[in-house]
Amino acid sequence: MTITQSLGVVTGSTVRAKNVFKDIGAAFKNMAGGEIKAYTELLQESRNEALFRMLNDAAARGANAVVNVRFATSSVAGGAAELLAYGTAVVAQ
Amino acid sequence: MARGEEEPFVGLIIAVIVAACTVGPWLLSLVATFLYQPRKRKVLLERETQAALKGDALTTLSKPFGNREIKQTKMMMANVVMSPSWVQMAIGNFMSLFGGQINVFTKVVDWARREAQQRLREQVAEEGFDEVINMRIETTMLTSTRGGKDKTSGVEILAYGTAIKY
């Protein structure tokens, strides 16, 4: 496979907040420390969503691949997290 | 007269409830910190040892070694959210008065990072890939707002890379 054309940077992002019930469960788990499964799953889901949006952006430009994908995460105030996925959309043959 | 006999009994119940609500969680936290967490870490160490016998599959190189042909690639990621327990938070907050290395926090973050990497290794092995190139590790602090103050409730570690199959 060789890259024949570069179509620029594509991004996808999503901001997610935890729901109250999961928050309560997490607060209990916080007492004991260790892994908080509710948050792990939530972040996994949101990251897949961000990735999906990035791929949609790439498909809209007519790319068939995205290379050098990176993730960035920042926590917005109030317990919400912003997840960003970005990469270079390319045409590969 | 009967009322007077009942009162110390009711007082005792209230005292027990109050004690359970204040000391109970801390006791639970103490047990979790010194019994539950070390056990989890031990399990992780065993998994790591098992994986290490076959050679580490993770690399941060942008290209694999050698000229072998790559048949298939896939992006893979593994994440984990870890939080220090109340007791660890209390010890950490106290130790930060003196500065220097804060061992309890180091332990938690190190554990989370190892766990994320180990999950990536297992995921890669499960799907039949040989190696991961260009692996990166991302860290995020999760905060929750309580009483107008941002409080750290955990740290999220994400390990991701390109899995390749020869």
Q: What's the pLDDT at A21?
A: 74
Q: Is A2 exposed, middle or buried (0-12, 13-18, 19+ CB in 10 A)?
A: exposed
Please determine, for residue B146, whether its predicted confidence score (pLDDT) is greater than 80. Answer: no
- Domain with residues A3-92, CATH architecture: 2-Layer Sandwich (3.30)
Alpha carbon distance B55, B153 (integer Å):
35
Q: Is the ipTM of this complex over 0.85?
A: no
The total number of structural domains in chain B stands at: 1
CATH code at B57? Answer: 3.30.110.70
Please determine, for residue B4, whether its predicted confidence score (pLDDT) is greater than 80. Answer: no
- How far is the alpha carbon of B81 from chain A, nearest alpha carbon, in Å? 5
- Please answer whether residues A87 and A54 qualify as being in contact, where contact means their C-beta atoms are separated by less than 8 angstroms: yes
With beta carbons under 8 A apart, name residues in chain B contacting A69.
Answer: 75
- How far is the alpha carbon of A78 from chain B, nearest alpha carbon, in Å? 5
Q: What angle do CA A76, A48, A18 make, to 5 degrees?
A: 40
What residues does each domain of chain A span?
3-92
The alpha helices in A1-93, defined as continuous H runs, are 20-32, 37-60
Alpha carbon distance B41, B111 (integer Å):
7
Closest partner residue to B145 (CB to CB) among A33, A74, A78 is: A78
A-B contacts (CB, under 8 Å): 99
What are the residues of chain A with a beta carbon less than 8 Å away from any beta carbon of chain B?
A: 23, 26-27, 29-37, 39-40, 43-44, 47, 69-75, 77-79, 81
pLDDT per residue over A31-67, tens digit each? Answer: 788 888 888 888 888 889 999 999 999 999 888 889 8
Nearest CA in chain B to A18: B144
What pLDDT band is residue B71 in, cutting at 50, 70 and 90? Answer: confident
With beta carbons under 8 A apart, name residues in chain B contacting A43.
Answer: 79, 81, 156, 158
Amino acid letter, B127: E
Q: Return the number of other C-beta atoms located less than 10 Å from residue B59's C-beta.
A: 15
Range of the domain at B125: 2-165
Quick one: which of A6, A38, A18, A52 has its CA closest to B144?
A18
